[in-house]
Chains A and B, each alone.
Chain A
């Protein structure tokens, strides 16, 4: 569809965001941060944006996305540790594991709606958590999977040392973030994406326009889980560690909080939400153990007074 002048603020917003992300390593130290913090923002933003593909743009709430995030984490970690010391192989296995699990579980649950869907996603998610938690000699159990690390990538003509240079790793992550986000944005502007908006707006109407709603929700779920899985692999690489808590349902809640905090009706909302969450966590947790209560308070205030999230406030100021 053609864009009109009403879309210009959107372009300006996107340009500002991309500039900020591209230049992050150059200014983040000066504002009291560090490169790895920026990388974590990117990873979490990717996960939250992927969740929001389902939540904000299809209208389906999942409380079990940690499962696919965690499968990405463990898929990457286990592959690099036991099978093949290759970063890209680890990522491929991690994403594939998440996709296969999401495809199968999706088939079992897409006919459910609302709270029932959310509850079942939690239940399936917890299954993976307990496997990782109990299977000590492979996954490291509660201690997590350590003693492995991401590997430099050799292209033959050039070598990408993502292991020793945090800045190189940041751009490595930014590359995947950009590709994933571009795909999701393009999908949302396509005929397929419009059927998802239609489902969000009015499922009954959509069904009676000839859309097999369950199948479209399944596809949206699969796309969402795929990119959450990708985010999981990047998270494992970032920490050189696989933590069972990435599979825990609390982590799913964190993704939802990020999306809602930033604004789930806007494409960039989850990025803003993730940035706020990760940075707050980093700063406040150095001062108090109860950092979560500050985030909780902030979250409650946003939901009560700005139901369209932080980006919703900005948008209202820019676009009357």
Chain B
């Protein structure tokens, strides 16, 4: 069974149709890229999947369960984690604390007024693992707000991983990054996908990143579905070329 089925979702803001009858099916273990020119409705589409917005119509099925009406926190509990286009972290807390919070929440400790020594040690070990994964071990006790843009992005991604997600949604993970940072993040995502067998859906503007990572690509244009296929198919698709060239040339 597919892990994620998005069925004919639409989102209207007044008379503006941001997403118009889009469907998408993502198999477990797949890395799906969602691309499209500016204003294609990619981020709105993402917000519908993660629960940030409620669709005007259509259904979202996650692992066989209809999650269309579930609040964001409940979708997280079912295994959907996301990052944001503009980095959303806890700037005045240390990297370690930024990771500790999701680890504790995912361990079911969010209401605990204290932790046993063994539980605390387990949390700390998991945090250390995540720090290593994000290449943040040497910056663990610095405030996230003081880190470079790339490290903040990495923090946000490993925060999402701390939730043990079954589906990871990444909204433009390399936005605003230099080549070096883009490469590091791309490698991280690739490892999560290849080694961690994690199902990932990402929005990305950098086509090198998209073609390097994605198994399949979905193309949106002006809120509507335009095409879907393997990277090779999409690269050869005339409608996609027109959409991009027509806009940017």
Residues of A in contact with B (beta carbons under 8 Å apart): 1-2, 4, 186-187, 190-192, 194-195, 197-198, 201-202, 204-213, 216, 219
Given that A197-B90, A201-B90, A205-B89 are contacting pairs, would A210 and B101 also be in contact in the complex, using a CB cutoff of 8 Å? no
A198 to B105, CA, bound (A): 11
Contact: B93 with A192, CB < 8 Å?
A: no
Q: State which of B90, B106, B115 has its C-beta within 8 Å of the C-beta of A202.
A: B90
Q: Given A201-B93, A202-B89, decide whether A210 and B76 contact each other with a Cβ distance below 8 A.
A: yes
Judge whether A202 and B114 touch: CB under 8 Å. Answer: no
- CA of A3 to CA of B30 in the docked complex: distance in angstroms? 42
Is B166 positioned at the interface, with any CB of A under 8 Å from its CB?
A: no
| Contact present for B114 and A210 (CB under 8 Å) | no
6 new A-B contacts at CB < 8 Å, known A197-B93, A202-B90? A1-B120, A192-B110, A202-B89, A205-B84, A209-B105, A210-B106
Q: Check A209–B113 contact: CB distance below 8 A.
A: no
Which residues of chain B have C-beta atoms less than 8 A from A186's C-beta? 113-114
**B93 & A211 in contact (Cβ 8 Å cutoff):** no
Are A201 and B76 neighbours in the complex by a CB distance under 8 Å?
Answer: no
Binding site for A on B (CB under 8 A): 50, 52, 71-73, 76-77, 81-82, 84, 88-93, 96-97, 100-102, 104-106, 109-115, 120, 124, 141, 159, 163
Cα A210 to Cα B101 with chains together (Å): 10
10 A-B residue contacts at CB 8 Å?
Answer: A191-B109, A191-B111, A192-B112, A192-B113, A195-B110, A201-B90, A209-B101, A209-B105, A210-B106, A211-B73
Closest to B169 in A: A208
Q: Are A207 and B72 in contact (CB under 8 A)?
A: yes
**In the assembled complex, which residues on chain A have CB atoms less than 8 Å from the CB atom of B163?**
209-210
State in angstroms the CA–CA spacing of A198 and B144 once bound together: 13
Q: How far is the CB of A159 from chain B (nearest CB, A)?
A: 35
Question: In the complex, what distance in Å separates the CA atom of A201 from the CA atom of B92?
Answer: 7
Q: Can you name the residue of chain A whose Cβ is closest to the Cβ of B78? A: A210
Question: Closest chain B residue to A209 by CB distance?
Answer: B102
On whether the beta carbons of B113 and A190 are closer than 8 Å, the reply is: yes
Interface centre among B109, B110, B120, B159 (most CB of A within 10 A): B110
**A205 and B105 contact, CB distance less than 8 A:** no
Query: Closest residue to B110 on the A side, CB-wise?
Result: A195
Partner of B91 from the list A201, A211, A212, A219 (CB cut-off 8 Å) is: A201
Known: A191-B115, A197-B93, A209-B163. A204 touches B109 (CB 8 A): no
Residues of B within 8 A of A192 (CB): 110-113
A194 and B81 within 8 A (CB): no
Max count, chain B CB within 10 A of own CB: residue among A186, A191, A213: A191
Enumerate chain B residues within 8 angstroms of A212, measured Cβ to Cβ. 71, 73
- Is B88 a contact of A198 with CB atoms below 8 Å? no
Instruction: Please indicate which of the listed interface residues A4, A208, A219 has the most CB atoms of chain B within 10 Å of its own CB.
Output: A208
| Smallest CB separation, A173 vs chain B (Å) | 25
- Chain A nearest CB from B137 CB (Å) reads 16
Per the bound structure, the CA–CA distance linking A211 and B111 in Å amounts to: 10
Instruction: Determine if A195 and B114 form an interchain contact, defined as CB atoms under 8 angstroms apart.
Output: no
Residue of A at shortest CB range from B92?
A201
Q: Do residues B120 and A210 form an inter-chain contact, with CB atoms below 8 A? A: no
By beta carbon, the residue of chain A nearest B120 is A1
Contacting A198 at CB < 8 Å: which of B81, B90, B96, B114? Answer: B90
How long is the Cα–Cα vector from A235 to B85 in the complex, in angstroms?
50
Q: Is the CB of A208 within 8 A of B115?
A: no
Q: How far is the CB of A238 from chain B (nearest CB, A)?
A: 30
Query: Are B105's CB and A190's CB within 8 A?
Result: no
B70 to chain A, nearest CB (A): 12
Closest to A201 in B: B90
Q: Measured between C-beta atoms, what is the minimum distance from A320 to chain B in Å?
A: 15
